[in-house]
Amino acid sequence: MNILLTGGLGFIGSHTAVVLSQQGHQVTILDNLCNSQIGVLANLEKITNQKLPFYEADVRDTQMLCKVLSENQIEVVIHFAGLKSVSESAQDPLKYYDNNVGGTIGLIEAMQVQKINKLIFSSSATVYGIPHYLPCDEDHPLAPINTYGKTKLQAEEIMRDLVVSDPAWSIVALRYFNPIGAHESGLLGEVPNGVPNNLMPYVCQVAIGKLPHLNVFGDDYETKDGTGERDYIHVMDLAEGHLAALNYVNHCPGFEVINLGTGIPCSVYEVIAAFEKSARRTIAKKVQPRRSGDLPIYFAKADKAKQLLGWSAKRDLQTMCDSSWKFQENLSK
């Protein structure tokens, strides 16, 4: 099929581009490079051994989108393009509503003009907010506690209304848990801007000596070892989840929300231990007070993805750490 990936040079989009291309799909990428590098395209082409059409453009540019959709005879769009920093979304909420909600509206308008009605959307487990129960299923109440999460929820709601207004649409919103890891080649991975906020990129930078130690945000939670527990999912499993969702949107009209997680929580100390094994070195760490806005533990109920998409995550924490380390080592060469 002809598939447009908005934000396709980013962390998750680039890994999905590999999986889709290797399955024989024709992938077109649109990205404004606000959080990615053009060099990712060359690495993508190296891995897939294919030339991928690329447009440096913004999803809010509806005219440009119409051109890209028609020029490449796009049949399905996967909408990764978005801003994802929780802290930045608190400082600059308008930027987040404009990009994440405005960008989604612009994209849908262009799709309507071009009569394309199949869409897969990058949502986030952050739409659930503070867990009322665990594991978190898709019926869990929706109460995001940060602006970033609210933009994701609003985008989902727009899609839900759209499908009611026109049942020919087929939309799947995938709620990702904590994606980490990298492509096995070591050529693609996550490249954070500035000092990382998230655990895995921070650990990677401590391992190569760019940062002196990891700050462990709290070791007094009521969790297995006192540190926060999360549902880390390998980015290649996530990418394969998009392939499964592609098959689904092709056959099933309507709107569905589906968790993509492993269903297995891992603690900060477990991640450090696995990473130390991968990198064969010790990660210096200092226990700090809890980070404001952090949850002690959350993880997915991953049954719906299995039932509807026939997909489940296969790769374990060690594989996630091995691939993250390989990518980090390559980056620092």
Active site residue 221: no
> By CB under 6 A, is residue 327 in contact with ligand NAD?
no
Tell which one of 5, 21, 28, 36 touches ligand NAD (CB under 6 A). 36
User: Quick one: what does residue 160 bind among ligand NAD, ligand UD1, none, with the CB cut-off 5 to 8 Å set by partner type?
Assistant: none
User: Quick one: what does residue 228 bind among ligand UD1, ligand NAD, none, with the CB cut-off 5 to 8 Å set by partner type?
Assistant: ligand UD1
Q: How far apart are CA 137 and CA 126, in angstroms?
A: 13
> By CB under 6 A, is residue 33 in contact with ligand NAD?
yes
Amino acid occupying residue 311: W
Q: How many helices (H) and strands (E) does the chain have?
A: 12, 13
> By CB under 6 A, is residue 205 in contact with ligand NAD?
no
Minimum distance from residue 42 beta carbon to ligand NAD (Å): 15
- Nearer to ligand UD1 by C-beta: 114 or 198? 198
- Nearer to ligand UD1 by C-beta: 17 or 204? 204
Sort 76 into a burial class: Cβ within 10 Å, 0-12 / 13-18 / 19+. Answer: buried
DSSP assignment string, 44-83 = HHHHHTS---EEE--TT-HHHHHHHHHHTT--EEEE----
Q: How far apart are CA 19 and CA 281, in angstroms?
A: 32
> By CB under 6 A, is residue 82 in contact with ligand NAD?
yes
Minimum distance from residue 167 beta carbon to ligand NAD (Å): 26
Sign of the dihedral through C-alpha 110, 112, 116, 119: positive
> By CB under 6 A, is residue 170 in contact with ligand NAD?
no
Question: Which residue in the list 128, 148, 232, 248 is annotated as catalytic?
Answer: 148
- Contacts of 267 by beta carbon, 8 Å cutoff, 6+ apart: 223, 224, 225, 227, 228, 229
Interhelix angle for 199-207 vs 268-279, to 10°?
40
Q: How far apart are CA 184 and CA 164, in angstroms?
A: 41
- Chain centroid to Cα 4, Å, comes to 16
> By CB under 6 A, is residue 128 in contact with ligand NAD?
no
Q: Interface with ligand NAD by CB under 6 A: which range of 9-17, 209-217, 278-286, 292-300?
A: 9-17
> By CB under 6 A, is residue 103 in contact with ligand NAD?
yes
Q: Residue 293 has which token pair?
A: 């806005």
- Nearer to ligand NAD by C-beta: 99 or 328? 99
> By CB under 6 A, is residue 65 in contact with ligand NAD?
no
Q: Which sequence positions are flagged as catalytic?
A: 148
Give the footprint of ligand NAD on this chain (CB under 6 A): 6-7, 9-13, 31-36, 58-60, 80-84, 99, 103, 122, 124, 176, 179
